[in-house]
Amino acid sequence: MTNVPNVKLNNGVEIPQFGLGVYKMKEKSEFMEAIKWAFEAGYRHIDTAAYYGNEEWLGEAIKESGIDRKDLFITSKLWNSEHGYEETKAAFEKTMKKLDLDYLDLYLIHWPTANYVESYKAMEELYKAGRIKAIGVSNFQIHHLEDLMSQTEVVPAVDQVETHPYFQQDELRTFLKANGIAHEAWGPLGQGKNTILTNEVLTTIAENHNKSVAQVILRWHIQRDTIVFPKSVHQQRLAENIDIFDFELSNDEMNQIKQLETGERFATSPDDEEFLKASAQKKID
């Protein structure tokens, strides 16, 4: 087992700070192999979503692993076309049937599409009933969070947002910290886009520690108290990604990475109304 630290959420639930994301894992054989390798490497936190189409496979992989359920942390997300109070409850039951689990560790609203408040109220009910250990959101901006919290009871446990050295989310991070909401990073390696994995500053820091650039970026996330779950289907990469707890970046190195901020996303903005409306029409099985 690796020495992945836990982060205590605002309701006392503990989440491993490092896990595996399974977005775009579309082939069952590849998925099952990746999860098996991840479990062997010490991963215990898996982040999926209804939209990813692989919840059922994850349920099978968990059973095959023989790992005690209480030692795993499983996250899934409500898709945009299933917003609304009753719709959310129905979507949750569908997710639980696919995962074949008695409870979910964390359930998130995937994007701030219309009726997210009603969806969250349904999630609050499921949370209070013990069906979900913690509830939160994904891709919510400050104004979405303020709107949500003004109309609901349970402060979100996490906000899962695009975060990487080129897009560091400092303003949002400050807001999350002030409100006791944990920051989760998706696309933590910049989804391999642009020059992030060949960046000169990051390359030099990686050489100083005899680590890869990916390991340096993931370590940077950890030292910023961010919860992170990079995706990979390669055994060597899976093992390498989690091997980041035997070194530390100096304050100077953290500051060098801070200077890499560009303010530009690589993915869709949560304020892109056209995307939000179109995605809410996109049904999933």
Active site (catalytic) residues: 52
Q: Could you tell me how far CA 58 lies from the centroid of its own chain?
A: 16
Closest C-alpha to 172, from 144, 201, 209: 144
Q: In what order do the strands lie in the sheet with 132-138?
A: 20-21, 45-47, 73-78, 104-109, 132-138, 158-162, 182-186, 227-228
If you ran DSSP here, which 8-state letter would residue 189 be given? T
Phi and psi, residue 127, nearest 5° = -65, -45
Q: Are 172 and 141 in contact (CB under 8 A)?
A: yes
Q: Are 184 and 227 in contact (CB under 8 A)?
A: yes
Q: Are 58 and 76 in contact (CB under 8 A)?
A: no
In the structure encoding, which two tokens stand for residue 135, read together?
Answer: 């509830």
